[in-house]
Amino acid sequence: MMFDRYLIDSDSLHNTGPVQAPTGFAFTARLGYYRGLGLSMVEELEVSIDGEPLPRSAVRFDEGKGALTLDEMETCYDRRWGFGAPATISVEHPGGFPAGEHKLSLRQRLRVSYMPFPSFNFDEKTVTLAA
């Protein structure tokens, strides 16, 4: 899709939790669909870093109104992810990631009301985690 290359904000990767003992990492992402969607229509956000797929249960989404698990998003009917609006994708990953370059990928599976099949969007970027 034409918006795929804009999904991941390449300057946003950072560890989360205490500096000496990170509990995970987070980055900013955008929706790959041009009209925005209700959060219940975001069927999947698959995150991989350095080729390692991370478990669905570890992923959290926050468009600015509080973090949700992907399971919670399935029944979240009163919140939207607008086109072009940044959202924070955070992942529980004990130890976080060391400083340096990493390959980050995000795959979105979206349910669009007028399409008989899901919309898939994918972005992969080499990102740098600051020390």
Nearest residue to 58 (alpha-carbon basis) of 3, 95, 6, 4: 95
How do strand 68-69 and strand 100-110 relate by DSSP bridges?
Answer: unpaired
CATH class of 4-129: mainly beta
- The pTM (predicted TM-score) of the whole model is 0.91
For the chain, the maximum distance between any two Cα atoms, rounded to a whole number of angstroms, is 48
Nearest residue to 22 (alpha-carbon basis) of 129, 98, 94, 100: 94
pLDDT reported for residue 1: 47
CB of 27 within 8 A of CB of 80?
no
pLDDT in tens, the chain (131 residues): 456 677 999 999 999 999 999 999 999 999 988 888 999 999 999 999 999 999 999 999 999 999 999 999 999 999 999 989 999 999 999 999 888 999 999 999 998 877 777 888 899 999 998 77
d(Cα 111, Cα 70) in Å, to the nearest integer?
14
Question: Would you state the structure tokens that stand for residue 6, as one six-digit string?
Answer: 């804009």
